[in-house]
Amino acid sequence: MSTDDYKRAAAEAALAHVQPGMKLGLGTGSTAALFVELLGARVAEGLDVVGVPTSEATRELAERVGVPLTTLKDTPELDLTVDGADEVDPELRLIKGGGAALLREKIVAFASRRMIVIADAKKQVPTLGAFPLPIEVVPFGKEATRRAVERAAARLGLSGKIEIRRAEDECPIVTDSGHTILDGHFGRIDRPEELAAALSAIPGVVEHGLFIGLADLALIAGPDGVTTLEASPASAAANARRFA
C-alpha cells in the first residue's frame, strides 16, 4: 500500500467517529482533504453535519464535495475536529503547519470538544522536531522576530536555522490570515512545552505549530492497519476543562 492509501485508511477510520448532527472542524492538508472528500460522500447519502474549514483550500474543497459549512461566529463551539499532522509523538503532542494553516487549525481545534489526528505511520515520531517547526509571525518586523525566536530557542539549547518560508518566486509566503511563516529547523525538541511558552511570549509571533494538549485521539495508518493512540487521562481532562 502507498502512503496515500494509508492516509485514506486513517481518514476512513475517523469517519466512524462522526455522528449525525455534529458540528465539525475540518482540517487542512492532504490527509484532511481525504477526510473531507469521504465526508462529502456521506453527506450526499444523507448524513447531517456542518463544518468549519481551517483554510481557504479546505473551504473550497468542502464546497466542491458538498459539505455544508458554517463559521466560528455562528457556531463557536464544535463537537469534533479531524485534522492531519506533520509529526505526532507518543503523548499526542503535534507539529502542524506544513501547509501554513496552523493558526486557523489551532483556533478551530481549541474551539472543539475533541480533536482526532489522522496520519500515515511516517508521521509518528518518538521526539518532535525533525520536521521544521512552523511559526506564524506578523510581516512587520519579521527579521527582528526571527532573531528573537532564534535567541529564545538558543536559551533552550536549540540550534538550527530559522528560515522565512518562501514561495517558488522567492517571496515570503502569505498565510490565509496575511502572515509570514518561519520554519525552525531544530532537529529535536526535547521540551516542547517550554519552547511553546517561549515562542508565545515573543511579540510578533502570532502562533506556533506545537499543538500540545489538543489532540484526544490519533488514528495512525500503516502496514499493520490503523492504530489508535489515546491522550493520557490527564491531558484528556485538561482538554475537557476548556468547556467547563
Ligand X SMILES: O=C[C@H](O)[C@H](O)[C@H](O)COP(=O)(O)O
Contact with ligand X (CB under 6 A): which of 43, 50, 83, 199? Answer: 83
Examine the residue annotation and report whether 37 is marked as an active-site residue of this protein: no
Task: State the minimum distance, in angstroms, from the CB of residue 83 to ligand X.
Answer: 5
Dist. CA 94–CA 117, nearest whole Å: 9
The three three-digit cell numbers of residue 12, written as one number: 476512513
Contact with ligand X (CB under 6 A): which of 67, 78, 80, 100? Answer: 100
The three three-digit cell numbers of residue 172, written as one number: 515570503
Catalytic residue, chosen from 105, 143, 163, 193, is 105
Which segment (25-33, 179-187, 215-223, 234-242) binds ligand X by CB under 6 A?
25-33
Q: Is 99 in the site for ligand X (CB under 6 A)?
A: yes
3-state SS record for 183-220: EECCCCCCCHHHHHHHHHCCCCEEEECEECCCCCEEEE
Task: State the minimum distance, in angstroms, from the CB of residue 159 to ligand X.
Answer: 24
Cα distances (angstroms) measured from residue 162 to each of 45, 49, 167, 203: 47, 40, 16, 17
- Angle among Cα 95, 139, 212 to the nearest 5 degrees reads 20
Task: State the minimum distance, in angstroms, from the CB of residue 218 to ligand X.
Answer: 13
Please say which residue, 159 or 200, places its beta carbon nearer to ligand X: 200
Q: Is 179 in the site for ligand X (CB under 6 A)?
A: no
Contact with ligand X (CB under 6 A): which of 15, 17, 22, 30? Answer: 30
**Residues of 206-235 as b/e, b for ≥16 C-beta within 10 angstroms?**
bbbbbbbbbbbbbbbbbeeebeebebeeeb
Please say which residue, 79 or 136, places its beta carbon nearer to ligand X: 136
Task: State the minimum distance, in angstroms, from the CB of residue 7 to ligand X.
Answer: 6
Point out which residues bind ligand X (CB under 6 A).
Answer: 27-32, 83-86, 96-102, 105
